Amino acid sequence: MTSRRVLNVGSGPPGLSRLHPVFRDPSWRAVRLDIDPGVAPDIVGDMADLRALVPDMSFDAVWSSHNLEHLPAHRVGAALGEWRRVLAPTGFALLTCPDVEAVARLVLDKGLDATAYESPAGPITARDMLWGHGASIAGGHGFMAHRTGFTAESLGEAALAAGFAEIRVARRHFALWALCLMPRAVLGVIETLFETAGEGALFSAPDDEATPDPAWAAP
């Protein structure tokens, strides 16, 4: 079986559950990247500055769950550009981050401390999604603070500006999901990966608010 490599950005501690289902198949080999040496990642480093740590075109995919929002706005482009740099020409990046538009509606309807959802770390509030998980920050993990935010449009535009060839963005509950394709990526092949993992609806079906999935392509 051919082994494919995925860079797990901001991986946290080891665990298959920290990977998106697409990357849990045995054909994928995950390489863990984190800024916190305490979680014993394969690579300790800054996700926006990987040139000394990760060679060009050395991964088939990049997976990032709730990382971009921890960067100041002026460094988002650098991070996305680094993820594009390390990807093979047929590769793709899959990322998720808070949907600030959905969070803003929650704040207007129920207030800053309204619970959006339950997580293994406890209830996550609108305040947590806007500025970072309060309990983690209070516990001394300042890097958990949020320094920027995204709408579906701004996330898609940032990924295009970083050099990805095509972007598909979906809104799900309080999260944005972006599939960022390299120039030679074959969308049908990637869609099959999602379908096999039981995630085929992520970029093809509307959420409970009937929000269409915007897509952008480089000219």
Q: What pLDDT, on a 0 to 100 scale, did the predictor assign at position 30?
A: 98
pLDDT tens-digit profile of 49-95? 999 999 999 999 999 999 999 999 999 999 999 999 999 999 999 99
CATH value at residue 13: 3.40.50.150
Same domain, 64 and 154: yes
Burial track 181-208 (b if 16+ CB lie within 10 A, e otherwise): bbeebeeeebbebbeeeebeebbeeebe
Which two tokens mark 13?
Answer: 């501690």
Same domain, 210 and 108: no
| Cα separation, 206 vs 196, whole angstroms | 20
Same domain, 12 and 93: yes
Same domain, 167 and 182: yes
Q: What pLDDT, on a 0 to 100 scale, did the predictor assign at position 174?
A: 94
Range of the domain at 126: 100-146
pLDDT tens-digit profile of 175-208? 999 999 999 999 999 999 999 999 988 876 444 4
Task: Say if residue 209's pLDDT is above 50.
Answer: no
Same domain, 204 and 182: yes
CA-nearest of 87, 85, 26 to 62 is: 87
Domain count of the fold of the chain: 2
pLDDT tens-digit profile of 118-137? 988 899 999 999 999 999 99
Reported pTM: 0.90
Q: What pLDDT, on a 0 to 100 scale, did the predictor assign at position 2?
A: 67
| Vertex 120: Cα angle to 178 and 150 (nearest 5) | 25
Same domain, 53 and 161: yes
Same domain, 112 and 200: no
Same domain, 9 and 90: yes
Same domain, 132 and 158: no
pLDDT tens-digit profile of 7-43? 999 999 999 999 999 999 999 999 999 999 999 999 9
